[in-house]
Amino acid sequence: MRRLPGVVSGEERSGSTVVSVLIGPDTVYFSNLGDSRGIAVSNASLMVVTEDHKPFRADEQKRISLAGGTVSMQRINGNLAVSRALGDYDYKNRLDRGPFEQLVSPEPDLYPLARRPEDEFIVLACDGVWDVITNDELYRFVRYQLTLTNNLEQICATLLDTCLGRGSRDNISVAVILYPGAPNPSEEAKTLERQLDYNIERAVCGIYFKFILCFKTYTRLPSLVMRCVIV
């Protein structure tokens, strides 16, 4: 890799984290590099959570120190927020050291997990998701959404909208993989969701009408057109 033109010239300075899963007949293998994360849910419980490679982890901090670097402000040399990644060649320029002995290591962690009939789903996502939602919140969110729809594209879109609403400004990507044991949509859950939407709409419209009433009472501007229907 050091011989590639972009690396030699110093033009290629980007990097990427990785999270992946290999699903076999009896065993599932999770692999992660950096702070992209994977979780597995079985029988309504978290079974696997990959561990982020962060510079402030004790084992990573020791490895970085042995490679000649420091950790400040929870970053390598005060700059990079992950300790393992693909690319990031500015942190892999020690020619006298092997690839795993650089400031940023390309070595992933592997998490094998035996398959069970109770397995429900897997979620893989980058840090733009995990920065604003916990493991527990995410698995409960996905599990609830599966009681409303089996459209995974819609579930992922709803999750991404939720992360954006919580203020995530990083790259956001997510993948959901279902097992046969995943929850199925139910009419009871759909009815409760519709009732919740209705209650929220009524509450918002009530606030809107109070604002308009106050606005009309204390200003001399022309009346506003109010369009809010409460059934």
Helix (H), strand (E), coil (C) string for 70-97: CEECCEECCCECCCECEECHHHCCCCCC
Q: Which two tokens stand for residue 91?
A: 């942190």
Q: Say which residue, 195 or 48, is predicted with more confidence.
A: 48
> How much is the average pLDDT of 75-100?
89
CB 113 within 8 A of CB 39: no
Concatenating the DSSP letter of every residue in 91-137 gives: G---TTS-GGGSSSB-PPEEEEEE--TTEEEEEEE-HHHHTTS-HHH
Q: In what order do the strands lie in the sheet with 45-49?
A: 45-49, 37-42, 119-125, 174-178
Calculate what percentage of the chain has a pLDDT beyond 90.
60
Confidence band of 191 (pLDDT split at 50, 70, 90): confident
- pLDDT, averaged across the chain: 85
> How much is the average pLDDT of 86-114?
90
Return the closest-CA partner of residue 127 out of 118, 135, 119: 135
Question: Are residues 77 and 117 located together in one domain of the fold?
Answer: yes
Question: Are residues 63 and 107 located together in one domain of the fold?
Answer: yes
Residue whose tokens read 């199925």 = 184
Question: Are residues 165 and 197 located together in one domain of the fold?
Answer: no
In the chain, helix, strand, coil percent, each to 5? 35, 25, 40
Residue 104: give its domain's CATH number.
Answer: 3.60.40.10
Domain count for the chain: 2
Which residues touch 136 (CB under 8 Å, ≥6 apart)?
46
Question: Are residues 41 and 99 located together in one domain of the fold?
Answer: yes
Q: Say which residue, 34 or 9, is predicted with more confidence.
A: 34
**What is the domain range of residue 196?**
186-231
Residues 216 and 210: their CA atoms lie apart, in Å, by: 10
Residues 53 and 62: their CA atoms lie apart, in Å, by: 13
| SS3 label, residue 160 | helix
Question: Are residues 162 and 126 located together in one domain of the fold?
Answer: yes
